[in-house]
Each structure stands twice: as structure tokens, then as C-alpha cells.
Amino acid sequence: MRMILTLVLMLAACSKSSDVLEELPNSSLAGAPREEVPETRLESRLVRPVTIGEDGPRLDACGAMGQAVRVGAGGAAVRAAPFSDAGEVARMAEGSRAWVCTRSLDQKWMGVVLVPEPPADNAAAPVDCGVSGPVDRKQPYDGPCPSGWVSSAAIRLIAG
């Protein structure tokens, strides 16, 4: 009788595990409860914001700088989520730079904030993306610069 009761309790526990956590593949937020992960739908595709501040409040919001390499004339696609079928939000030309803020769990994608091109007339002040200094907590990037996910193969780390 005790054995049957133990088996019933184990099965009940297993059936509730899917309600507690749902892993999100290819994300630095995998393992977080689904309701805590900010997601929206854009053209019926998943959008996953780039996370900044993963290294803590004493270090820069994005800990490295990367440069687009071997991307050809068309450039590298910057995607809305760390998946090859996610919508394209921007392109990185050969040699362009981006702050590298996070990586997908499988290391195939880098979450980046694009460094804006300097103004042609040098009259306007350069745009501060807000990631070169510390932030108080880990959070989705919502600053003025374009952000998204780029294939790790297209980015060479140059600082950080």
C-alpha cells in the first residue's frame, strides 16, 4: 500500500512540473518562468529582446565589442530573436561594430546593440546607446540604438 501511495505522489509531481517552468531554447533566459520572459509577436514571429546587464551592476551593461566579418556585400542579418527564421530587423555591413551583450545558450547567436554610424557632418553629437556603463539589474534593452540577434559566425570579438 505504501509503495502504491509513493508511486501516485511521484506521478502527481511529474504532471505539475510543466506548469512550473518551461524552457525557452536558444535564449539567455532559458529556465526562467514563461511569464517573466518579455515576448511579443511581430508579423507572427517571435521577438526576444536582447538582455543587458548580465555581468552585474559593477560592469558595463554589454561586456564586449564585436565587428562584422566575412558577411559579404549583403551584410549580416540582425534578427528579432535567436532563430534563423526570426524576422530581420537590421543588417550589419562588413566591418560595422556592435556591443555584444549576451549569447544564446547554444552559443550560435549573439545579442547585440548596433553602434550607430558617426554623423556625416560631425555637427550632431554621436548617439549614446546606454550600454557602455553599468545598469542596476539584468533587463531587456530598450535604448535608442537598434538591437537584435546575429549569428556568432558573423561577429569577431575585438574588445571585452
Identify the band that residue 39 occupies on the pLDDT scale cut at 50, 70 and 90: low
Identify the band that residue 24 occupies on the pLDDT scale cut at 50, 70 and 90: very low
Residue 77 has pLDDT above 80, yes or no: yes
Please tell me which residue, 98 or 25, carries the higher pLDDT value.
98
d(CA 30, CA 105): 8
What residues contact residue 65 under an 8 Å CB cut-off, 6+ apart? Answer: 97, 98, 99, 100, 115, 157, 158, 159, 160
Quick one: residue 147, left, alpha or beta (phi over 0 = left, psi -120 to 50 = alpha)? Answer: beta
Residue 34 has pLDDT above 60, yes or no: no
Residue-level pLDDT at 17: 38
